[in-house]
Amino acid sequence: MLQASTNPAAAAAATSGSIAPSISLTEKALKYLNKMRAERNEDLCLRIGVKQGGCSGMSYTMEFESRANATPDDSVVEYDGFAIVCDPKSLLFMFGMELDYSDALIGGGFSFQNPNATKTCGCGKSFATGKETEAAATACNN
């Protein structure tokens, strides 16, 4: 796992291991995200969040956007010059999550290791935390 920082004091604390980042990236995920960003040739950050829907009640969202779109309420996590932005409501469901990437032909792509998820769908892109009232699905059409 890579070290993240939100400010210099937090970077020092994260390096010492006393504060874990709110969202972490594996080296494979960071490499692939940097490749995708470079292809767009802009100074972009990754906005990550959750929305209602998906096979298990909630689904992950990810999109590149301009760093200027970040609001004061957003959490911003920096990884070697790459920024992840997350709104406060989504962060409640994703705190402690690790984003990974695999280039496997079957089952490849981004994967979410979310400690808050009590149930996940077979597609791995949706989850439940036990806070939803809908029953979680065990199968997916994706």
Give the pLDDT of residue 119. Answer: 77
Residues 6+ apart with CB under 8 A from 109: 101, 102
Give the pLDDT of residue 41. Answer: 80
Q: What is the pTM of this model?
A: 0.72
| Residue 73 in domain | yes
Under DSSP, the state recorded for 49 is E
Residue 99 belongs to a domain with what CATH number?
2.60.300.12
| Residue 138 in domain | no
How far is residue 108's CA from residue 131's CA, in Å, rounded to a whole number?
29
Local confidence pLDDT in tens for the 142 residues of the chain: 444 444 333 333 333 344 567 899 999 999 999 999 999 888 899 999 999 877 778 888 999 999 889 999 999 999 888 999 999 999 998 999 999 999 988 878 998 898 888 877 766 666 777 754 333 344 444 4
Q: Which of these, 55, 58, 60, 61, lies nearest to 130 by C-alpha position? A: 58
Domain of residue 70 covers 8-128
